[in-house]
C-alpha cells in the first residue's frame, strides 16, 4: 500500500490540476464573452445602439452556464444579450455569439427567484397584472422631447455618475428618471 502512495498522490494531483485547468478555461471563456465597453469620452450617437428588443429567452453557453436573456441589441455592430441570472438577480451584457437561446415563457420560469419577484411586484395594491415584458416605467412625458430612464437592477458595476452629470450639465430641469 505504501509503495503505491507516490503514484496515488501523483494521480490525485493531476486530477486536481485538470479540474483547476478546466475551471480556468471555463472562466476565460466566460470572461471572453462578457461585454465591457471602454468609458466613452463623450455621449455616444444614436446609431451606436441598434436593434434593441425586449425578449424572454432561455440561454445556454458551451461551458454549461445558463441564463435568461431579457434584451437583445447591437452595440457598435456587436450583437449582445442583456442576461439575467434568474436565481441571483444579477445582470450582465455578453456577446450573443457565446450563447444558444430559445424563446421561453413566464410560466416556464415561474419557479425562479426572478419570476417570483416580478409576480410579487405586479401584485402590488392598485396595479393590474403586467407581464414580464410590459413597460412599467415612463411611457410619455408632458412635453415633446427626449427622456432618459434607467433601471437600477442589481449589478456589480457602479452607477455611471459621470453620464448623469453630463446630461444634467445640459441645463436646468433635465428630464431624468431612475
pLDDT at residue 40, as a whole number: 72
pLDDT at residue 94, as a whole number: 96
Rounded Cα distance, 94 and 136, in Å: 25
Rounded Cα distance, 33 and 80, in Å: 10
Q: Where are the domains of the chain?
A: 2-32, 45-135
Rounded Cα distance, 116 and 19, in Å: 35
Q: How far is CA 108 from CA 85, 105, 151, in A?
A: 15, 5, 24
pLDDT at residue 6, as a whole number: 41
Rounded Cα distance, 88 and 121, in Å: 17
Model confidence pTM above 0.85: no
pLDDT at residue 175, as a whole number: 66
pLDDT at residue 15, as a whole number: 43
pLDDT in tens, the chain (178 residues): 444 434 443 343 344 444 433 344 444 456 789 998 777 777 777 778 889 898 999 999 999 999 999 999 999 899 999 999 999 988 899 999 999 999 999 899 999 998 888 777 777 666 665 555 554 444 555 666 666 666 666 666 677 778 778 877 887 777 666 5
Task: Pinpoint the alpha helices (H) of 34-170.
Answer: 113-122, 161-168
Max distance between CA atoms of the chain, in angstroms, equals: 85
In terms of Cβ atoms closer than 10 Å to its own Cβ (0-12, 13-18, 19+), residue 26 is: middle
Q: Looking at residue 34, what DSSP letter applies?
A: B
Amino acid at each position: 500500500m505504501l509503495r503505491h502512495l507516490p503514484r496515488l498522490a501523483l494521480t490525485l494531483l493531476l486530477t486536481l490540476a485538470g479540474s483547476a485547468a478546466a475551471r480556468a478555461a471555463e472562466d476565460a471563456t466566460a470572461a471572453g464573452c462578457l461585454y465591457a465597453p471602454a468609458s466613452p469620452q463623450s455621449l455616444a450617437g444614436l446609431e451606436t445602439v441598434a436593434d434593441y428588443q425586449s425578449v424572454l429567452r432561455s440561454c445556454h453557453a458551451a461551458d454549461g452556464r445558463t441564463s435568461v436573456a431579457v434584451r437583445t441589441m447591437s452595440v457598435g455592430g456587436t450583437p449582445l444579450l442583456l442576461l439575467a441570472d434568474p436565481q441571483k438577480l444579477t445582470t450582465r451584457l455578453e456577446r450573443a455569439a457565446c450563447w444558444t437561446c430559445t424563446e421561453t415563457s413566464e410560466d416556464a420560469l415561474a419557479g425562479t427567484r426572478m419570476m417570483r419577484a416580478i409576480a410579487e411586484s405586479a401584485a402590488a395594491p392598485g396595479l393590474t397584472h403586467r407581464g414580464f415584458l410590459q413597460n412599467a416605467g415612463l411611457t410619455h412625458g408632458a412635453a415633446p422631447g427626449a427622456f432618459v430612464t434607467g433601471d437600477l437592477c442589481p449589478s456589480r458595476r457602479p452607477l455611471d455618475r459621470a453620464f448623469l452629470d453630463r446630461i444634467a450639465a445640459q441645463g436646468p430641469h433635465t428630464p431624468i428618471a431612475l
